[in-house]
Structures are given as C-alpha cells and as structure tokens.
Amino acid sequence: MNTSTQPQPDRIDVQDSESLSRWTRELATTEAQLKDAVAQVGDKAADVEMHLKGARSTTNKDRIEQAGADEAG
C-alpha cells in the first residue's frame, strides 16, 4: 500500500504551484480556468481535460448560427 504524500501523476493539485504550472501548460489553459474546472469536476486530470474541452467546443447549433451570420453579413 502506498502511503507516501507524493502527488499522483494523474491528479491536479491546485494548491501546488508546480502542479498548476505543469497542468496549465499541458492543458493549454489559464490557472483560473484550471482551478475552476477542478472545483467543478474534481482533480482527476482526464476529467478536467474533458471538462475544459467541452467548455471550449462549439455545438452544431452554434456552427449553424455562425454560418447563417456569415451568409447574412
């Protein structure tokens, strides 16, 4: 059983500046966005990544509306 206090490689520790720097770089996000994502979905890196990607993606509806705006303009 591992009882060390070493951070888990797939966990984001928002209290640790080294962890924050690493994950903001790896996930191409800001510290504020990273902290917000961790607060919403927990500290598991895969969950945070999916949350951030979802927050940045557009929906079909968004793309259709944008295409309509492009044609009208």
Angular region, 16: left φ>0, alpha ψ -120 to 50, beta rest: beta
Give the side-chain half-sphere CA count within 13 A for 12: 27
The pLDDT value recorded for residue 7 is 60
pLDDT above 70 (res 1): no
Q: Is residue 9 part of a domain?
A: no
How many independent structural domains does the chain possess?
1
Q: Is residue 30 part of a domain?
A: yes
Q: Is residue 8 part of a domain?
A: no
β-pair partners for 11: 44
Which amino acid does the sequence have at 14?
V
Name the residue with higher pLDDT: 72 or 30.
30
pTM strictly above 0.75 = no
Q: Report CA dihedral (29, 22, 11, 55) to the nearest 10 degrees.
A: 10
**C-alpha span between 13 and 63 (Å, rounded):** 35
* Structural domain range at position 33: 17-72
Q: Is residue 2 part of a domain?
A: no
Q: Is residue 3 part of a domain?
A: no
pLDDT in tens, 36-70: 999 999 999 999 999 998 866 556 666 677 677 65
